[in-house]
Amino acid sequence: GAVVSQHPSWVICKSGTSVKIECRSLDFQATTMFWYRQFPKQSLMLMATSNEGSKATYEQGVEKDKFLINHASLTLSTLTVTSAHPEDSSFYICSARDLTPPPEQYFGPGTRLTVT
């Protein structure tokens, strides 16, 4: 089955620093990847949709300058949280959409970000 990996699985950073999270589709090509944020005991909140080779589309209320998304290849998308603050602490999940129909979204295992 289709596998999506995320790295790192857990990261702690100091307030004011930036942190990058990678999302890779391991055995399929994904023209579209998605980044979600999940707070404890809540649902997934879509942050942005990234298409390979083009700028990401951000959901309303998501700061594009704070959450930088790059989708440079068909198997890799990155989310960079810039100038992180404690309120950015959360669980970040990526998903990748398979090209073959019906187009499925496969989810990564998530990254826990703690900003101290």
Partner 1 sequence: AQTVTQSQPEMSVQEAETVTLSCTYDTSESDYYLFWYKQPPSRQMILVIRQEAYKQQNATENRFSVNFQKAAKSFSLKISDSQLGDAAMYFCAYRDQGAQKLVFGQGTRLTINP
- By the criterion CB under 8 A, which residues form the site for partner 1? 32, 34, 38, 41-44, 46, 49, 91, 93, 95, 97, 102, 104-107, 109-110
Q: Which is nearer to partner 1, 16 or 109 (CB)?
A: 109
CA distance 104 to 108: 13
CB of 32 to partner 1, least distance (A): 5
CB of 100 to partner 1, least distance (A): 14
CB of 83 to partner 1, least distance (A): 26
Q: Give the CA angle between residues 66, 69, 4 to the nearest 5°.
A: 130
CA distance 12 to 67: 17
H or E element that contains 36? strand 32-38
Q: Which is nearer to partner 1, 14 or 100 (CB)?
A: 100
CA distance 48 to 7: 18
Q: Which is nearer to partner 1, 18 or 59 (CB)?
A: 59
Within the chain, where are the H helices? none
Q: Which is nearer to partner 1, 5 or 80 (CB)?
A: 5
